[in-house]
């Protein structure tokens, strides 16, 4: 994703630090999908590029991607999830604040950070399938599965049921303190990603996710399912990066094939 000249900064590692300790996520922004590979993203420094050009480029290309933003000056972190060039999820956190902002309120603060010099920006492309699955955390229904079985078995039963129903969403495996260990992304009957906070992306199969609870039967299994049932409904939950576009009416059901169309 080449939006400008790549900048090498000694502080670039801040973008990769999502607050993981011993394989456990401790930051809300860590719930945003990570880049699929180190080669699939680049770190930019605000001031070296015009952030408006970055947003216009994403919007005009209708890219599905993620932006992670770190402002040392404001002591803030944010992440923007983008579906076909439009914002479908946003988280904003500030050091010393006990809560996070979400949605348009979060985005307004993130844009302020983008305008600050030396703000770090990580921009990376994601598949539409992964973006929609991840969007369920922001635009969906979230429930904690009743712990009627050990967590490993409960995870397997839950994922298999969601796959059979062709649900779009994600399954988060939390430790007994409610902190995330693993996120499994589901799209229309298939696993499209398994992200381990200890090891990164794993092979997208059932065993990759269930293994996180093999020795911890008290883990919590949380499910988020996307409310939208077709592409237009998904777009209806988004808003413009720049305020210049309204989106295009699309009414096809969400399937693996429609997610890949025109990508």
* Higher per-residue confidence, 232 vs 17: 232
How large is the average pLDDT for residues 162-187? 95
Q: How confident is the model at residue 18 (pLDDT cuts 50, 70, 90)?
A: very low
How large is the average pLDDT for residues 14-25? 51
Residue 54 has pLDDT above 60, yes or no: yes
Q: Residue 259: its pLDDT value, please?
A: 53
Q: Residue 23: its pLDDT value, please?
A: 57
The answer for residues whose C-beta is within 8 angstroms of residue 243's C-beta and 6 or more apart is none
Q: Residue 248: its pLDDT value, please?
A: 39
How large is the average pLDDT for residues 217-239? 94
Residue 254 has pLDDT above 80, yes or no: no
Q: Are 126 and 133 in contact (CB under 8 A)?
A: no
Q: Are 208 and 194 in contact (CB under 8 A)?
A: yes
Nearest Cα neighbor of 5 from 56, 59, 53, 42 is 42
How large is the average pLDDT for residues 230-242? 92
Domain boundaries, the chain: 13-126, 140-226
The mean pLDDT value of the chain amounts to: 84
CA distance 4 to 137: 30
Residue 89 has pLDDT above 70, yes or no: yes
Nearest Cα neighbor of 31 from 207, 172, 178, 206 is 172
Residue 16 has pLDDT above 60, yes or no: no
Quick one: DSSP state of residue 241?
S
pLDDT, tens digit, 9 for 90 and up, residues 21-37: 445 665 667 789 988 87
Q: Residue 72: its pLDDT value, please?
A: 84
- Long-range CB contact pairs, 149-154, < 8 A, 24+: 150/213, 150/217, 151/213, 151/216, 151/217, 151/218, 151/219, 151/220, 151/221, 152/210, 152/211, 152/213, 152/214, 152/217, 154/213, 154/221
Quick one: DSSP state of residue 115?
T
How large is the average pLDDT for residues 242-248? 66
Q: How confident is the model at residue 149 (pLDDT cuts 50, 70, 90)?
A: very high
Cβ-based burial of 240 (10 A; exposed 0-12, middle 13-18, buried ≥19): middle
Residue 243 has pLDDT above 90, yes or no: no
Of 37-46, 84-93, 102-111, 163-172, give the lowest mean pLDDT range. Answer: 37-46
End-to-end CA distance of the chain: 14
Q: Residue 252: its pLDDT value, please?
A: 43
Q: Are 120 and 43 in contact (CB under 8 A)?
A: yes
Q: How confident is the model at residue 48 (pLDDT cuts 50, 70, 90)?
A: low
Residue 39 has pLDDT above 70, yes or no: no
Q: What share of the chain in percent tops pLDDT 70?
A: 78
């Amino acid at each position: 994703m080449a939006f400008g000249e790549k900048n090498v900064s000694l502080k670039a590692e801040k973008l990769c630090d999502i607050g993981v300790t011993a394989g456990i996520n401790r930051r809300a922004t860590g719930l945003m999908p990570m880049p699929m590979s180190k080669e699939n993203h680049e770190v930019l420094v605000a001031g070296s590029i015009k952030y408006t050009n970055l947003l216009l480029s994403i919007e005009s290309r209708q890219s599905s991607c993620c932006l992670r933003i770190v402002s040392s000056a404001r002591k803030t972190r944010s992440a923007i999830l983008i579906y076909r060039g439009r914002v479908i999820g946003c988280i904003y956190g500030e050091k010393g604040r006990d809560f996070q902002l979400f949605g348009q309120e979060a985005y307004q603060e993130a844009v302020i950070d983008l305008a600050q010099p030396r703000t770090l920006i990580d921009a990376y492309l994601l598949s539409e399938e992964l973006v929609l699955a991840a969007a369920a955390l922001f635009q969906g229904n979230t429930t904690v599965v009743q712990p009627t079985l050990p967590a490993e078995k409960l995870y397997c039963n839950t994922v298999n049921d969601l796959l059979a129903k062709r649900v779009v969403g994600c399954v988060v495996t939390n430790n007994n303190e409610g902190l995330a260990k693993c996120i499994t992304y589901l799209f229309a009957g298939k696993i499209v990603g398994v992200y381990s906070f200890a090891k990164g992306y794993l092979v997208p199969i059932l065993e990759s996710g269930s293994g996180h609870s093999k020795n911890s039967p008290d883990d919590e299994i949380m499910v988020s399912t996307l409310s939208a049932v077709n592409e237009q409904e998904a777009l209806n939950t988004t808003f413009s990066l720049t305020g210049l576009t309204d989106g295009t009416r699309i009414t096809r059901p969400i399937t693996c094939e429609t997610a890949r169309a025109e990508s």
